[in-house]
């Protein structure tokens, strides 16, 4: 395979000098045949004999052990924690479709956005006449020419593996090959955890890629592969059998088992769990490989990665639906968990034109299979208290296996939901995993095989945690505990504050938070920043090393930024998107606190309900004291304020239809940058409706209300302060 090794202490005639690289090549070949292509040529006994021979030779000559040797998949001491690593580019999530209609709507949007950008094409044509045609071609930017061309719309249909997304980086070595350097979990999409040692134990991950393979794939020796770590169903069953024999709690599903295994600190344990890796993305210098998705999968296979063989190029909704239906029919026989099908635009140039939203690529979508259901019995109903004091009833069920997961609890939402169902203790119910994730009760059964229960459930009048009275605000369906000192609210607030999508404090989980409360060490989230090593080491199962790592995480979170702090404060209705918009608009917590309802409602997606919740939050002295405590602890509460002009201040726009050259997001961004606001629906308060091709009911509504209508040219003229006519 073109490998050479510099073994300076061997003689030129040493048999060991030849045998070590031969054994490594042979073992890598058999690993590929067994773990990737499922076509082994030798028995396990023969493989073990080759491995033992290599181990003996390397033990005799330890100075020649290389990191990519097959003997080094498992080695070294258990790690003491996982360091954080920034991704080369964000690992984004995908938008979802749950029906053929939603998939067809996505396909329609893709095809509309992939059409030639006519404005650019016209400009190109105007200059491209006569003898100067070659010169004009040379002067035009590549982006301009691409924009004037129709782009292909083919999709690569792939299985949506239900596992843990990871990024694997490879670096060049002296002989022209590439060596596995680092493996990173998805984390929050921006930053993940270094799980290199554990990834090395997965046999379907090549530790080295030869120069020959790189040349065949057309890749440089520095690249990144993204894919999914999964636990095969057989391995999952075996794991639970072992846990049952040991008297341990059973793993819930293969996805959680894979995630938990990959974050196990002892690589020898990881090696026993038979994890697998399927590759589906390829990046070079932090950018997607520009050959397209089909070529990417072929290149990954050439490099020696396991690529799921069930993928197909499709060109129409009919072909997509056929692939989806066939996949769902075969789902139970695959040997691993999937929860849908992913459709990706194949051509790279089309992907570039479509671009990204804030959280997902426009050129890909996940078609999620319908929720799986099961029938079981309600044994009791418990009530949980959330960080806002909301009381949520939960059905405690006889365990039932639904879609690869054992379900023993399911949400009942609120008291009204229980009343509508007529649910009683002992009832038999149908339970679904909504979106294949959250279990929920959907109906009560009543027939000869499923007799009704007898005991009705009475919603508690007191908080189950602090025994304070609960209240139900007029017009709301939820009961809430209004005791500011309720320990359940504080516990959930701490867990929310530390969660990955908020302040991302690794290591501050349920067990640690519960002990902090029991030892009376924290009374608010601000108290986290005054914890000491001595206090933490007094807790059960928290050694000095772990305590130091937790303190480092807490200290690092001080720089999470204003948007995440706003999420962490738990302001009602302020989620991730709203927090980011508020941070961009006001730039500091003090400016946000000083804002009026009118100023708040100028922010995109902030209406009267959200503005009122923000004003109520800042009107509470306890909340102001909490903010001051966080400031005193050094938590940063500022953000880079988005620069906007006042050109369109006070104007509200509604966008509808497909514009010739601007995507909806691009038009929206231009309006907001000029101080305007966009809204989702047309009302008498709407200043302008911007309409493109295939504008629908919003255009009709605008005409009905006599709201001025602009086309794209009119919008651009308004943005440029040029005169125009309606």
pLDDT digit string (tens) for 251-299? Answer: 767 888 888 888 887 788 888 888 999 999 999 998 999 999 999 999 9
How many angstroms separate the CA atoms of 162 and 221, rounded? 30
How far apart CA 336 and CA 164 sit, in angstroms, is: 13
Closest CA to 57 of 24, 82, 90, 86: 24
Tokens of 55: 């181990």
Burial of 297 (0-12, 13-18, 19+ CB in 10 A): buried
Q: What is the pLDDT of residue 122?
A: 33
Query: How far is residue 461 from each of residues 396, 412, 471, measured CA to CA in Å?
Result: 20, 17, 8
Architecture per CATH, domain 373-480, reads as: Beta Barrel (2.40)
| Lookup: tokens for 683 | 């009302």
- 15-72: CATH number: 1.10.287.610
What is the reported pLDDT for 500?
A: 83
Residue 217 pLDDT greater than 80, yes or no: yes
Shared fold status for 487-559 and 562-632: yes
Q: What's the distance, CA 280 to chain centroid? A: 16
The reply to whether CATH 3.40.50.10190 applies to domain 652-719 is yes
Q: Residue 123's pLDDT is what?
A: 37
Find all residues with CB under 8 Å of 267, minimum gap 6, and list them. 74, 75, 76, 78, 79, 197, 198, 200, 201
Measured distance CA(48)–CA(40) in Å, rounded: 13
**DSSP H helices in 201-332:** 211-217, 233-245, 254-262, 267-272, 293-302, 317-330
* Mean pLDDT within 579-588: 91
Extract the tokens encoding 380.
């009791």
Beta bridge partners of 625: none
Dist. CA 619–CA 637, nearest whole Å: 18
Question: Do residues 182 and 196 touch, judged by C-beta distance below 8 A?
Answer: yes
Mean pLDDT of all residues in 160-182? 93
Please state, for a pLDDT cut of 90, what percent of the chain lies above it. Answer: 45
Rounded distance, CA 199 to CA 164, Å?
12
Tell me how far apart the alpha carbons of residues 577 and 573 are, in angstroms, rounded to a whole number: 10
Could you confirm whether 160 is annotated as catalytic? yes
User: Going by C-beta distance under 8 Å and a sequence separation of 6 or more, which residues neighbour residue 62?
Assistant: none
Q: Which two tokens stand for residue 147?
A: 């924009």
SS3 713: helix
Tokens linked to 230: 């999964």
Give CA–CA dist 599/609, Å, rounded: 14
Cβ atoms of 566 and 560 closer than 8 Å: no
CB-based contact 552:507 (threshold 8 Å): no
pLDDT of residue 690 exceeding 70, the answer is yes
Long-range interactions of 283-288: CB distance < 8 A, separation 24+ = 283/88, 283/89, 283/223, 283/224, 283/225, 283/226, 284/219, 284/220, 284/222, 284/223, 284/224, 285/222, 286/88, 286/89, 286/224, 287/89, 288/348, 288/351
pLDDT band at 385 (very low <50, low <70, confident <90, very high): very high
CATH of 487-559, one of 3.40.190.10, 1.25.40.10, 3.40.50.620, 1.10.150.20: 1.10.150.20
Least-confidence region, from 137-141, 388-392, 706-710 = 137-141
Stretch (H or E) spanning 688: strand 688-691
Q: Domain spanning 562-632: which CATH class is it, in words?
A: mainly alpha
Break the chain into its structural domains and give their ranges: 15-72, 157-368, 373-480, 487-559, 562-632, 652-719
Local structure of residue 545 (DSSP, 8 states): H
pLDDT interval class at 168 (50, 70, 90): very high
**Which helix H or strand E contains 616, and what residues bound it?**
helix 608-618
Task: Say which residues have a Cβ less than 8 Å from residue 341's Cβ, sequence separation at least 6.
Answer: 157, 158, 159, 160, 320, 323, 324, 327, 366, 367
In the predicted model, is pLDDT for residue 534 greater than 90?
yes
What is d(CA 655, CA 670) in angstroms, rounded to the nearest whole number? 12
Query: Mean pLDDT: which of 61-65, 136-140, 675-679 is highest?
Result: 675-679
The more confidently predicted of residues 675 and 441 is 441
Query: Which candidate in 18, 84, 120, 160 is catalytic?
Result: 160
Average confidence (pLDDT) over 491-509:
91
pLDDT band of residue 38 (cuts 50, 70, 90) is low
Say which residues have a Cβ less than 8 Å from residue 494's Cβ, sequence separation at least 6.
508, 513, 516, 517, 522, 525, 528
Q: How confident is the model at residue 140 (pLDDT cuts 50, 70, 90)?
A: very low
Which of the four CATH numbers 3.40.50.300, 2.70.150.10, 1.10.3720.10, 3.30.470.30 does domain 157-368 have? 3.30.470.30
Q: How confident is the model at residue 7 (pLDDT cuts 50, 70, 90)?
A: very low
pLDDT of residue 9 exceeding 90, the answer is no
Mean pLDDT across 70-98: 76
- Poorest-pLDDT segment among 64-78, 136-150, 211-225, 396-410: 136-150
Report residue 149 CA to chain centroid gap: 33
CB atoms under 10 Å from CB of 165, counted, come to 20
pLDDT score of 436 more than 50: no
Q: What is the pLDDT of residue 71?
A: 78
CA angle, 75 as apex, 73 and 79 as ends, to 5°?
110
Q: Tell me the per-residue pLDDT of 307-342, one tens digit each, with 9 for 90 and over.
A: 999 999 999 999 999 999 999 989 888 989 898 999
537 contacts 547 by C-beta, under 8 angstroms: yes
Tell me which of 72-76, 541-545, 681-685 is least confident: 72-76
Q: Is the pLDDT of residue 157 over 90?
A: yes
* Residues 603, 570: Cα–Cα separation, whole Å: 19
Highest mean pLDDT out of 252-261, 357-366, 427-436, 457-466: 457-466
Q: How many angstroms separate the CA atoms of 600 and 602, rounded?
A: 5
Query: Phi, psi (5° rounding) for residue 623?
Result: -70, -40
Q: Which residue has the higher pLDDT, 54 or 611?
A: 611
Location of structure tokens 């520095």: 222
Burial of 344 (0-12, 13-18, 19+ CB in 10 A): buried
Do 448 and 458 form a contact (C-beta atoms < 8 A)?
A: no
Integer Rg of the chain from CA: 29
Q: Which contacts (CB < 8 Å, 24+ apart) does range 36-41 have? A: 36/204, 36/304, 36/305, 36/306
Residue 569 in contact with residue 617, Cβ under 8 Å? yes
Give the number of other CB atoms < 10 A from CB of residue 232: 18
């Amino acid at each position: 395979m073109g490998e050479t090794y510099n073994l300076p202490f061997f003689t030129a005639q040493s048999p060991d000098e030849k045998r070590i690289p031969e054994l490594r090549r042979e073992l890598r070949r058999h690993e590929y045949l067994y773990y990737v292509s499922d076509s082994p040529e030798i028995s396990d006994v023969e493989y073990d004999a080759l491995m033992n021979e290599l181990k003996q030779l390397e033990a005799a000559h330890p100075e020649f052990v290389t990191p990519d040797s097959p003997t080094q998949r498992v080695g070294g001491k258990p790690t003491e924690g996982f360091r954080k690593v920034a991704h080369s580019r964000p690992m984004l999530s995908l938008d979802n479709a749950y029906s053929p209609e939603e998939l067809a709507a996505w396909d329609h949007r893709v095809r509309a956005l992939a059409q030639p950008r006519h404005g650019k094409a016209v400009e190109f044509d105007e200059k491209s006449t006569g003898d100067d045609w070659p010169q004009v071609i040379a002067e035009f930017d590549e982006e301009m020419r691409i924009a004037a061309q129709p782009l292909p719309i083919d999709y690569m249909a792939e299985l949506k593996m239900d596992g843990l997304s990871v990024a694997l980086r490879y670096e060049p070595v002296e002989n022209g090959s590439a060596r596995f350097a680092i493996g990173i979990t998805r984390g929050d999409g921006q930053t993940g955890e270094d799980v290199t040692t554990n990834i090395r134990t997965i046999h379907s991950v090549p530790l080295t890629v030869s120069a020959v393979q790189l040349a065949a794939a057309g890749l440089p020796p520095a690249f990144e592969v993204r894919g999914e770590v999964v636990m095969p169903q057989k391995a999952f069953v075996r794991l639970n059998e072992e846990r049952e024999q040991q008297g341990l709690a059973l793993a819930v599903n293969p996805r959680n088992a894979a995630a938990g295994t990959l974050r196990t600190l002892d690589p020898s344990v990881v090696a026993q769990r038979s994890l697998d890796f399927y590759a589906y993305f390829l990046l070079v210098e932090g950018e997607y490989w520009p050959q397209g998705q089909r070529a990417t999968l072929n290149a990954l296979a050439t490099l020696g990665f396991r690529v799921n063989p069930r993928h197909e190029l499709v060109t129409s909704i009919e072909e997509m639906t056929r692939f989806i239906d066939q996949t769902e029919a075969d789902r139970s026989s695959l040997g691993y968990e999937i929860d849908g099908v992913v459709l990706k635009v194949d051509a790279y140039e089309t992907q570039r034109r479509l671009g990204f939203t804030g959280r997902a690529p426009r050129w890909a979508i996940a078609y999620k299979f319908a929720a799986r259901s099961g029938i079981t019995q309600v044994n009791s109903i418990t009530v949980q208290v959330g960080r806002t004091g909301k009381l949520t009833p939960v059905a405690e069920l006889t365990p039932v296996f639904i879609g690869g997961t054992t379900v023993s609890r399911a949400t009942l939402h609120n008291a009204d939901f229980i009343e509508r169902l007529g649910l009683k203790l002992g009832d038999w119910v149908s339970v679904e995993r909504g979106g294949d994730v959250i279990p929920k009760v959907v109906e009560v059964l009543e027939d000869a095989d499923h007799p009704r229960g007898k005991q009705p459930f009475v919603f508690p009048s007191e908080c189950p945690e602090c025994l304070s009275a609960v209240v139900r605000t007029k017009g709301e369906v939820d009961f809430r505990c209004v005791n500011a000192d309720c320990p359940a609210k504080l516990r959930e607030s701490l867990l929310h504050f530390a969660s990955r999508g908020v302040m991302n404090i690794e290591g501050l989980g349920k067990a640690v938070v519960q002990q902090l409360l029991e030892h009376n060490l924290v009374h608010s989230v601000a108290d986290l920043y005054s914890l000491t090593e001595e206090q933490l080491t007094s807790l059960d199962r928290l050694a000095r090393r772990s305590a130091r790592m937790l303190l480092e995480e807490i200290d690092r979170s001080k720089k999470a930024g204003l948007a995440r702090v706003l999420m962490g404060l738990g302001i009602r209705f302020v989620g991730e998107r709203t927090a980011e918009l508020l941070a961009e608009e006001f730039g500091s917590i003090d400016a946000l606190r000083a804002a009026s309802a009118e100023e708040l409602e100028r922010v995109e997606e902030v209406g009267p309900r959200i503005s009122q919740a923000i004003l109520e939050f800042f009107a509470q002295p306890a909340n102001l004291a909490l903010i001051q405590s966080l400031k005193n602890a050094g938590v940063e509460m500022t953000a880079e304020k988005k620069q906007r002009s006042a050109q369109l201040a006070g104007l509200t726009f509604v966008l509808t239809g497909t514009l010739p050259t601007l995507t909806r997001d691009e038009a929206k961004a231009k309006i907001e940058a000029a101080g305007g606001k966009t809204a989702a629906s047309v009302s008498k308060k709407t200043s302008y409706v911007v309409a493109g091709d295939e504008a629908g009911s919003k255009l009709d509504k605008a005409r009905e209300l006599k709201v001025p209508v602009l086309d794209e040219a009119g919008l651009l003229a308004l943005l440029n302060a040029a005169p125009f006519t309606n």
